[in-house]
Amino acid sequence: MKKIITLLFVFSTFCQLQAQTVTVDKPTAKAGNDFAIVIDNITYEHTAESVLAYRDALQGDGLSTWILRADWQSPDQVREQLGILRKRAKKLEGIVLIGDIPVVMVRNAQHFTTAFKMDEKAFDRTESSVGSDRFYDTPDLKFEYIDKDEDFWYYRLKDDSPQKLLPAFYSGRIKYPPMLGGDKYEAIARFLDKVVEAKHNPQDLDNIVTFAGHGYTSDCLNAWLDESILLRECFPGMKPGRDNIKQLDFRMDTYMKYRLFDQLQRPEVDAFFFNEHGSIDKQHISGGDLPSSTEEWVDQLKWGYGGVYMELGSLCKKMDKDEAIAKLKAEYHLTDKFFDDYFNEELRKTRAKESKEEAAKNIISLDDLKGIATQPRLVVFNACYNGSFHRPGSIAAYYIFGEGRTVACQGNTVNVLQDRWTYDNIGLLSLGCRVGEYNRLVATLEGHIIGDPTFHFNPVGQSFRGQIAAKAKKIPFWRKTLAADDPALQAVGLRMLFDASAIDGPFLLEHMRNSPYGTVRMECLKLLSRAGGDAFISGIRLGLDDRYELVRRNAAIYAGKCGDPSLAAPLLRTFLEHPEDARVAYDITTSMRMMDASGFESALEEIRPTLTCLDADAVSAQVSKMIMGQAKSNAGMLDKITDKSISWEDRKSSMRLVRNNNHHAGIPKFLSVIADSEEDTELRVIMAEALGWFTCSYRKAEIIAGCQDILSKGGDSLPEELRGELIQTILRLQ
């Protein structure tokens, strides 16, 4: 019996080893940098001919290509093999994950996203985790395994992990969405054949389309108009024809999606940039046309989203019908007749059907995408969730696996910040760089290349392809790029030099002051936010008066994140003197909530006599009221956080709000909550985590010192979870 058990154990061990065997196919030709295809055995068996054709095309395009294939048992196994490969391939530029490669859902790392801040304890982990391949392409990050379910592997970023997101190489995903139907292996093979065709027929980047969707950047026309400045800077290869750069906006048609279908199927279009709201399976294009008559306005008031009938339905769940009607009649000055239609069941069914049909005209759905053949080789989704490659049906996956010519998309697996710099380093595409090279420099936890990460256009002038990986540590090389008459080269040079600690804040400030390029000035401001100090504060002041709207907008955002009192006057002056910048004004009001109200009160007194608007007194009174409201709100927020008599949930909610609203004046009180050993441990942890978002604060040194002091004084009595959070916050701010 013992012998049988031993034999069974040996056989079981043998099977496990067989399952974990990794086959590594070396490059068959020497090229420039290295690249790796990571694929599962079953997918490889069904697509080998297409995979090898892809490998050969990559090598012909200057990448020595390795193939790693296995019955992958875990993300750690893949990560381990990539680590071994990096030692063999000294210049690993990127990887692509094809087929059923384990999908990692990351937790405890929301600061690596642009906007995602879902409560990981309150919500289901599938929704509150971030699907991300940064697990694979950023090997210096430390993770601890939690567990897995049928679809995903869950990992937590360790508290002592590096807290900067700097991928060592780029990555891309080629994963078939099951909702599309059909044979996934045939589809992957077809897609790879399409990629090979694109490699053999490279094209110029001389025809692009951009689209601004409903409700994006406050529908600010200045933001939309200034996009043309950036497009001309980033894409110097554009021909002068009127069709070569098309800037579309949702306002141009009642149902803009059909105009977009026309453009997506236009063979000349090389790249398409969507700036819109999105979800996993929808692109949200328009919000419907504005009413054009009294009857239409009344109809909208009744049935529209957020209309009176919707409010009535909500109220009827809480109170008597007549009481609800009486309340709304008094609030909106309505008659009894106004409410008759609501209680007509047949009419309500008809309106519900019409509403559904109307909504379908304002989105691009997965079914819509089945019916068109998208022509742009590259599609970028500056939208929430459109890049959810790990979901059964995702927008980006439908684009690359459709009947058209699209081979690469950039998209996000969760929600994304509206004020993100959409075109950050996009000029690299005009230099012939691969889309993966570009995506690596703008890395977020959620941002991915879906499709072929090695895709590139023909360069305008001399090619820069592969140089970011090949010359990463060559400081003299990057210094030379600063003298180039090309904003894309200058911007990437500044980034590489700053990452190497070869330039500092004063250098960036001077470059920002003298550069004629909006994209370069924006790069300087972004890097100044990392440098901090007086140069950062001066850069914000400079940025508020920049001629490029995006720089002004981000300067307004950084002012709140920095919080230095000297920024109150220039911030308020910009708000008062430039109301035409709708999105800048919105971001200023957000930033004002983070700063001490007294600074704005004195700034208003200083600015008031210089106001030239006809209603200056009324404007001043309105702003004064806003400032007082801000002061009251901040005081209330601080009370909720520090008052132990207030409910646990209210205190927790207020603490979590601090993450997006870095209230700098409250830092001493926030630290006192964390230091209080009689406080609820979970609240102390939440407060410590919130302080980790003060990365640009002019008082962050105070936070670091305070957290270190709590660690030192707490000693062994400090709860382990709190200790870990304090360590993580310190690392994030350093």
Residue 11, pLDDT above cutoff 80:
no
Average pLDDT, the chain: 92
CB-based contacts of 485, cutoff 8 Å, min separation 6: none
* 103 belongs to a structural domain: yes
Residue 15, pLDDT above cutoff 60:
no
Closest CA to 189 of 64, 31, 52, 22: 52
Tell me if residue 407 falls in helix, strand or coil: coil
List the CATH number of the domain containing 48: 3.40.50.10390
List the CATH number of the domain containing 277: 3.40.50.1460
d(CA 244, CA 249): 16
Residues 258 and 382 in one domain: yes
Dihedral through CA 46, CA 52, CA 53, CA 54, nearest 10?
90
* 189 belongs to a structural domain: no
Where does the pLDDT of residue 359 fall: very low under 50, low under 70, confident under 90, or very high at 90 and above? confident
**pLDDT over 70, % of the chain:** 97
Residue 336: the pLDDT is: 85
d(CA 525, CA 509): 8
Where does the pLDDT of residue 9 fall: very low under 50, low under 70, confident under 90, or very high at 90 and above? very low
* 479 belongs to a structural domain: no
Predicted TM-score of the model (pTM): 0.90
Of 577, 601, 635, which one is at a domain's C-terminal end?
A: 635
**Which contacts (CB < 8 Å, 24+ apart) does range 664-667 have?**
664/563, 664/594, 664/595, 664/596, 664/694, 664/697, 664/698, 664/699, 665/595, 665/596, 665/634, 666/634, 666/637, 666/638, 666/641, 667/691, 667/694, 667/697, 667/699, 667/702, 667/703, 667/706
List the CATH number of the domain containing 589: 1.25.10.10
Residues 151 and 44 in one domain: yes
Mean pLDDT for 204-216 is 92
* 81 belongs to a structural domain: yes
Closest CA to 386 of 361, 362, 369: 369
Residue 719, pLDDT above cutoff 70:
yes
What are 145-155's pLDDT values in tens digits?
999 999 999 99
Where does the pLDDT of residue 120 fall: very low under 50, low under 70, confident under 90, or very high at 90 and above? very high
Residue 224: the pLDDT is: 85
DSSP state of 458: B
Where does the pLDDT of residue 41 fall: very low under 50, low under 70, confident under 90, or very high at 90 and above? very high
Length of the chain: 734
Residues 41 and 175 in one domain: yes
Residue 4: the pLDDT is: 44
Residues 90 and 236 in one domain: no
Which domain does 263 fall in, by range?
201-287+363-451
Residue 299: the pLDDT is: 81
* 13 belongs to a structural domain: no
Residues 70 and 159 in one domain: yes
Residue 521: the pLDDT is: 97
How many domains does one find in the chain? 5
Residue 7, pLDDT above cutoff 60:
no
Residue 631: the pLDDT is: 85
d(CA 509, CA 494): 12
Residues 381 and 305 in one domain: no
Residues 510 and 611 in one domain: yes
DSSP H or E run through 176: none
Of 331, 359, 387, which one is at a domain's C-terminal end?
A: 359
Residue 522: the pLDDT is: 96
* 472 belongs to a structural domain: no
Residues 372 and 318 in one domain: no
- Quick one: angle between helices 667-675 and 681-691, nearest 10? 140
* 437 belongs to a structural domain: yes
Residue 422: the pLDDT is: 86
DSSP H or E run through 96: strand 92-98
Residues 511 and 631 in one domain: yes
Residue 620: the pLDDT is: 85
Residues 314 and 422 in one domain: no
Q: Are strands 271-275 and 363-365 parallel, antiparallel or unpaired?
A: unpaired
* 618 belongs to a structural domain: yes
Residues 431 and 567 in one domain: no
Residues 382 and 527 in one domain: no
What are 504-549's pLDDT values in tens digits?
999 999 999 999 999 999 999 999 999 999 999 999 999 999 999 9
